Structure 1
Amino acid sequence: MNYNELKEIVTRHGFVLDKYDGNCYNSNEHLYIHANNTMFDDTGCNDVLATVIFGKAKLIRILWFDKLSVSKKSLFFEEVKKGEDYDSKDLVQKIETRFGLIQNNIKKAIVKLKLKEINKDFVNKNSHKNKV
């Protein structure tokens, strides 16, 4: 799999593949797949879900950061690396399956984050009523 083939899959699933220009550890050897979603913590590289390593023209390895956490105000991927070397013929299927799981985790986490906000607002409104 070359860069253009991977970029097409990544883009189709709503993610971004590029050299990370945020406050992330930038490397000439690695590209990053990130969520590019405003619900993520924007400090550091908390929306990075994978580091991609290419050889001269071919994908060699993807390190997945797919443990998603919900803080009080935002989402972030923790640095739990699960490396996968890619040389199999069912490569596209494996990557798309992983993206599907990550997208579902993001949706669930966004619901949790919104519920936290709703509960916080509810508690704040009720505590204000009790003071009056």
Structure 2
Amino acid sequence: MSRILQQGGFAWRSGACLPAWQSLSAALARHGECLGLRHQDSQAEPDSPALQLLHSDLRPLQTRLVGLPALPLELSTEFTLQAACGLMSVHGRASGRPQALGVNYLASINAALAWQGTLAAAVGQLRGGQSA
């Protein structure tokens, strides 16, 4: 296994997480566990990153998640985002009415994208790049 995966650790904002975003925090945690990274408790400050990758060979990598500009963060739930993206409309075509997927689909794909971007930034740093 790569050294970055053996010695890496991750932390995500859990205590100050918006109640509507709990499924995203859980998905970030599950994906981190699947990657074999150890969880490191973080301080739940209001401006803390959603995901922080730590490794001795890297500067800490922070990933911040933001909501849709037109939708207040407090209203950005899995349910409302499925509706806003049109997923409920497509999924409910057979019944003739909007229908939720029944799983935290958007939380899962957003967590996967957050991890992919964070790990890509880690690879970039290991190759000599500077991250902002």
Q: Could you state the TM-score of these two structures normalised by the residue count of structure 1?
A: 0.37
More strand per residue: 1 or 2? 1
TM-score (norm 2): 0.37
Higher helix share: 2
